[in-house]
Amino acid sequence: MRCAYTTILWDLDDTLLDFPYSQRFALKKCFQSIGIGITEEHITRYSQINNDYWKRLELGEVTKKELLTGRFTMLFNEYGIRGVDVEAFRREYEEALGSVFLFRDDGLAVVRSLQGRLRQYVITNGVSSVARNKLKISGLIDVMDGFFISEEVGCPKPGMEFFEHCLAEIPEKDKSRILIVGDSLTSDIKGGVQMGIPTCWYRPEGQTNDTPWKPDHEIDDLRRLCEIVA
């Protein structure tokens, strides 16, 4: 029996790769550079601010440029941290963020197990330089058939323009045979629903869906994807 899906569009951060792991490393390194001891409160609050900025980017409320520096400016202002060159801090943070990685649920093994059976692509809203470096050092660049980075495409997920660009570039033109796999209901799943592309929501912590965007599949472990595409 032929597999229903021929193509997978994988989200990168918080799906294939453990983003909090890289984020924690980068924040600690950068705070050390400015001579400030970072606390768990700093990390938690930054994560909240960062997530909020990315949601606002998805809604078109801020630009990518505003996001990249605004999140640090807000954090520093809240904690009374003065005299920091925010632009230099951003550059160091992005370099550190792209220098380490950790797979979720044996993600690389999952991708490799599907290699040759399905075409696989990365779709990400991440910063281009960071995403490219993570793809390289993680080995994903060698097993993926391609990747689409919103910064290079010119618009972020869940914008229809982003997914229209992906569809124009990949061989499969039958949307019903493409599967988007991602953790974000408001980015990956919303984008797929709006485009009429099947989706698989990755929710490893058992999150609940309080949005109108309903995925076709749900998994709590990436290894379960093999059951869906088998």
Phi, psi of 121 (to 5 degrees): -135, 150
Which residues neighbour 101 within 8 Å (Cβ) at sequence distance 6 or greater? 17, 18, 21, 22, 134, 137, 138
Please compute the mean of the pLDDT values over residues 115-129 and round it to a whole number: 96
- Choosing from 97, 128, 160, the residue where a domain stops is 97
- Model pLDDT for residues 173-212, shown as the tens digit of each residue: 999 999 999 999 999 999 999 999 999 999 999 999 999 9
- Residue 105 is a catalytic residue: no
Can you give the pLDDT at residue 3?
58
Last residue of a domain, one of 97, 117, 139: 97
Active-site option among 11, 18, 105, 183: 11
Quick one: 60 and 92 in the same domain? Answer: yes
Domain count, the chain: 2
The tens digit of pLDDT for each residue in 13-64 reads 999 999 999 999 999 999 999 999 999 999 999 999 999 999 999 888 999 9
At 66, the amino acid letter reads E
Q: What is the pLDDT of residues 87-113, one digit of tens each?
A: 999 999 999 999 999 999 999 999 999
Nearest of 118, 138, 108 to residue 180 by alpha carbon: 118
Cα 214 to its chain centre, rounded Å, is: 19
Question: Strand 119-124 vs strand 7-11: parallel, antiparallel, or unpaired?
Answer: parallel
Residue 145 lies inside a defined structural domain of this protein: yes
Q: Which domain holds residue 75?
A: 19-97
CA dihedral sign of residues 13, 19, 25, 31: positive
Q: Which residue has the tokens 């979720």?
A: 104
pLDDT for 135 beyond 80: yes
The H-assigned helical ranges of the chain are: 19-33, 40-58, 64-78, 86-97, 107-114, 128-138, 140-143, 150-153, 160-169, 190-195, 225-229
Same domain flag for 124 and 210:
yes
- pLDDT value of residue 1: 40
For residues 175 and 193, the answer to whether their CB atoms sit within 8 Å is: no
Whether pLDDT at 128 is above 80: yes
